[in-house]
Copies of this chain bind each other. A is one copy, B any other.
């Protein structure tokens, strides 16, 4: 609406003095300060963010990039991170990429333009192009996925819970309950995280000497509807599994919905294990056995690492790895 020059004119002082009065830094007499503040109020003055940023090179904003807003998995991370950022007076701005690498790249570009001071990036499938973009931006970034760079030349921080191990826990749980036909509902294995999960299931099955065939592997997209669709497909086949490992809670919920609708009893007929231990897991019926993925902790740790880079100027890389944990509820039981 107005700027410091207009205020300066109105109160008969120089813009420098107005700036000092408003910021409280540097010398400024009491009278001048009062006059300026009064005028600022009257003229409905607000500093222009862009001008401030251009000069001091800090936005005090953090970009938090998630693939999807429909998945409650991310909420905990956002909350955890936000708690930390808030303490430092930083704002968290959320953006979602719709599982689209192009969109992800656009957000990285936005960071690179210094629209924010740093970024927490939750990526399903961090591709070489985007890694390069992040590195070239020179901006602080924390990734919440494990990622082994083929060139080993990246310099961002990682905070993650081992999804591979998480799925292993889920699978082992069903094996320990005596199940021998165990199916896996995952995502497209072209995506890194989906591949990790798949491997977790496969390796654990192999280790226990279970025979696996392709028809035990179902591909969804982490939504409830896709879990439902996998159930539909599964039931058209013979030799129905007695245990299902789902790569996230949402797909497990969709799967269970199908079973409820078709009088398939859970856990009597089929045991189901989800992953992420979102709020829903405890609130649906039957309660869903799931894997705690420490979302809030990831968020807090990621935010802390980011603030270290932004405020303390740390330049070397840090990696934090957290352990997943099984929670048993009613959806799984001894065969």
**Which A positions have Cβ atoms within 8 angstroms of B?**
1, 44, 46-54, 59, 61, 63, 69-70, 72, 75, 78-79, 82, 91-96, 106, 109-110, 112-115, 136-138, 224, 228, 253-254, 256-257, 260, 279-280, 282-286
Contact = CB atoms under 8 A, between A and B. Distances in A.
Contacts of A52: 113
A46 B137 contact: yes
A257 B282 CA distance: 9
30 contacts: A1-B137, A48-B113, A48-B114, A49-B50, A49-B114, A49-B115, A50-B54, A50-B59, A51-B54, A54-B54, A61-B115, A63-B93, A69-B75, A69-B78, A69-B94, A70-B72, A70-B279, A72-B72, A91-B95, A92-B95, A93-B94, A94-B94, A94-B96, A224-B280, A224-B283, A228-B283, A257-B283, A257-B284, A280-B280, A284-B285
A267 to B, nearest CB: 14
Given A79-B69, A224-B283, A284-B284, A49 B113 contact: yes
A113 to B, nearest CB: 4
Nearest to A93: B93
Given A54-B50, A54-B54, A256 B285 contact: yes
A253 B228 CA distance: 19
Contacts of A115: 49, 61
A114 to B, nearest CB: 6
Given A44-B136, A138-B1, A110 B49 contact: yes
Nearest to A55: B50
A138 B2 CA distance: 11
A224 B279 contact: yes
Contact of A283 (B79, B94, B137, B253): B253
Nearest to A224: B283
Contact of A260 (B70, B94, B285): B285
Contacts of A44: 136
A248 to B, nearest CB: 14
Nearest to A227: B283
